[in-house]
Amino acid sequence: VHVKMADEAVCVGPAPTSKSYLNMDAIMEVIKKTRAQAVSLNESICCSFMPSLSLQASEGVTFIGPDTHAIQAMGDKIESKLLAKNAKVNTIPGFDGVVKDADEAVRIAREIGYPVMIKASAGGGGKGMRIAWDDEETREGFRFSSQEAASSFGDDRLLIEKFIDNPRHIEIQVLADKHGNALWLNERECSIQRRNQKVVEEAPSTFLDPETRRAMGEQAVALAKAVKYSSAGTVEFLVDSSKNFYFLEMNTRLQVEHPVTECITGLDLVQEMIRVAKGYPLRHKQADIPINGWAVECRVYAEDPYKSFGLPSIGKLSQYQEPLHVPSVRVDSGIQQGSDISIYYDPMISKLITYGSNRAEALKRMEEALDNYVIRGVAHNISLLREVIVHPRFVQGDISTKFLPEVYPDGFKGHKLTDLERRELLATAASLYVAEQLRSQRFLGTPRIPIAKSKRSTWDLSVHLGDGIYPVAVSKDGSSFSVEVDGTKLNVTSEWNLASPLLSVTIDGTQRTIQRLSRNASGDTSIQFLGTVYKLQILTKVAAELSKYMPEKAAEDTSSILRSPMPGAVVAVSVKPGDMVSEGQEICVIEAMKMQNSMIAAKTGKV
């Protein structure tokens, strides 16, 4: 999409980032070739640009973003922590030096006291991070974190600090110019996370009072001024249940979740970054920064949320439709229908943002937007996002970074239907089936065989959903259907536009937006209802009675096979043919979307 939008585009190399977006020579070549006046770059490459900064003067190129000394200081977690301490910013207790090896990591972890967090010094985005609760986990965490750090950032240095159990992750947006002015633009609540990566963000936070907000904002600005920061940046804090806050790290870039801040302040952060780069002073004073309304962002990922809250999925987007017809919705995406989601980059499809005058309104719009989002061809996490935003704990604001494992201790299983919702789904599926039967009798709006009398008005069906088989009686009444399920009658109305990916259905006065994803001649159909995809089988009474004679396909025994749960690259193999392995032993390591995953044997046996 960015290439389509640009007036001029130059390919900087093949897909792996080390050969393209992090290739300094290729980027410098493009700058010269296009005679660019300003360049926006990420932190990793700005640091590698250090030797070439003389070009900034000779080539007349301005970098949009902070100066490299600020990026280097804040990009290095060890140096940034020391700077934060000197700027009187609250910091987490821990070891401020570089950890040499696994033995030293264990010694330091024992001194600090378990649990500890092992982090890549140059890291970010949840990569190169491990929590360790004992010596063994510290050794393993040291190995994986250093490998991930080396492959993601080209820097395998690690640090160790105390792990604050059950905190909130709240960050402050800062904006500074080259004239010594700096502002804090309120906070963002980013506590809903999986694998240390954010999933749902909102602004403002339900947790902060004005005093805590000001204290955090003032410390964030103090840190920005200490490193002579100029541009937009984010200072991240961990906040405990008593509202004590501790500096986590500073992100010297525009964050993924910046739109929620733009919604509540009315500032265009990208425009402000370009103005600052050009040398203009900030146009606003701290007293001008408002909190107007509430904004929520959901990160829509090409991931399977039923596996570890989201294992990456790859493929082509065969159908893609953003919910831009829903009021107060913003979608920031870099893809379109037909785009490929590959193993080389983060599996994010888009950022879905909704805005309201208050939190309840913003969340209601988010619910509607998620129901109206059409994504086909790859697995996606809309079911998880929708469940999070309607969960009573989330609605009350009772959240922490442990929210997902606490609410779903056995993993995410999708929406659990109430009896009423189950009846609604069965009635909708049965009505869809009948609408389809009636459509197939017509040809361009006229009956296929004019002499055939098609006056049928009732259908007795058998619907298989989950572990249950339900008798459903459908009768047609004009454009609506009267459906009897479990002895209860429901009235189902819709325009029944079966060619549309979205169907608006009203069931006894309740409006639902559903999506039918697939169907076949055996009566199998998949329907997305309340965010979750349900598999149903709809048969006539006669077909249902005969179906018991159909043989079931036996499930394959996969316990003696190791099958990667996601696409990726094999970076290490720990066994060879003929080895005896025990259950739980590591067989290989798969790197997917810059994260390393240990694959283990499902049973004891011989390779």
Residues involved in catalysis: 249
Cβ–Cβ under 8 Å, residues 166 and 590: no
What's the gap between Cα 199 and its chain centre?
4
CB atoms within 10 A of CB 55: 14
The amino acid at residue 78 is: I
For residue 207, report the phi and psi dihedrals to the nearest 5 degrees: -95, -30
The amino acid at residue 400 is: S
What's the gap between Cα 60 and its chain centre?
38
CB atoms within 10 A of CB 156: 18
Cβ–Cβ under 8 Å, residues 400 and 463: no
CB under 8 Å to 453, separation ≥6 — which residues? none
Q: How far apart are the C-alpha atoms of 2 and 5, rounded to whole Å?
A: 5
Tell how strand 374-376 and strand 319-321 pair up: antiparallel
DSSP string, 401-440: TTHHHHH-TT--------HHHHHHHHHHHHHHHHHHHHHH
Measured CA distances, 224 to 230, 385, 463, 469 (Å): 8, 33, 61, 62
Cβ–Cβ under 8 Å, residues 178 and 279: yes
Question: Three-class SS of residue 235?
Answer: strand
* Nearest alpha carbon to residue 386 among 540, 512, 471: 512
| 548 HSE (CA, 13 A, CB side) | 5
The owner of tokens 């910091």 is 91
Q: How far apart are the first and last CA of the chain?
A: 46
The DSSP bridge partners found for residue 539 are 462
Cβ–Cβ under 8 Å, residues 91 and 81: yes
CB atoms within 10 A of CB 367: 18
